[in-house]
Amino acid sequence: MRKIRLAICISLVSCFLFFIGAGSAQEPKYQEKKQLVRNLVDEAAELIKTKGQTGLDAVADKKGKFSAGDTYVFVTSGETGADLVNPAFEYVEGLPAENYRNPDAKAAQMAIVNAVKDKDTAWIEYLWPKPNETKFSKKIAYLRKITINNKVRIVGAGFYPE
């Protein structure tokens, strides 16, 4: 009986170590993507804070430096949850979160607002379609809260993990 317990324990520990190793093998890939996203958001936030509308226009430019494939910077209102700038999904710009028809989209907008309610930055996961798709996928996003003219703005960008 003791040998069986020992064998089970060894098997469990081996499985645990395998899964930890598998997870950490992917982590550097995500770390690189996370750093790229964080840099884009931080640069866009500073540009918007210093240049105002000109900064927002730069973020909105689909061919500009803040849009690269599935990764793009967006700006959301901290008050209404409306995307003020979303170069990949322009049709949602200005639409308050409570007016979203898709419950996954509504939940995503509220998750973005709530993630930075009590702090200046956050990483979150939510469901959102990839650009040019309608099917919702898992998205990991970095958010930075800024205040301009006494209005809260959330600058964010993310990636879709494989």
pLDDT tens-digit series, residues 34-60: 999 999 999 999 999 999 999 999 999
User: Whole-model pTM?
Assistant: 0.81
pLDDT at 69: 87
Convert the pLDDT of each residue in 109-131 to its tens digit: 999 999 999 999 999 999 999 99
Packing angle of the helix pair 2-51, 53-60 (nearest 10 deg): 130
**26-159, what's its fold?**
Beta-Lactamase (3.30.450)
> Residue 7: is its pLDDT beyond 60?
no
Contact partners, residue 129, CB within 8 Å, separation at least 6 = 89, 135, 136, 137
pLDDT at 2: 54
pLDDT at 97: 87
> Residue 98: is its pLDDT beyond 70?
yes
Domain boundaries, the chain: 26-159
Q: Which of 59, 49, 55 is nearest to 147 (CA)?
A: 49
Q: What is the DSSP letter of 1?
A: -
pLDDT range class, residue 14, cuts 50, 70, 90: very low
Convert the pLDDT of each residue in 126-138 to its tens digit: 999 999 999 999 9
pLDDT at 3: 52
Q: Answer with the residue of higher pLDDT: 157 or 27.
A: 157
How far apart are alpha carbons 82 and 92 in whole angstroms? 8
- Can you say whether residue 69 is alpha, beta or left, with left for phi > 0 and alpha for psi between -120 and 50 degrees? left
> Residue 19: is its pLDDT beyond 70?
no
> Residue 72: is its pLDDT beyond 50?
yes
pLDDT at 27: 58
| Residue in the block written with tokens 């599935």 | 70
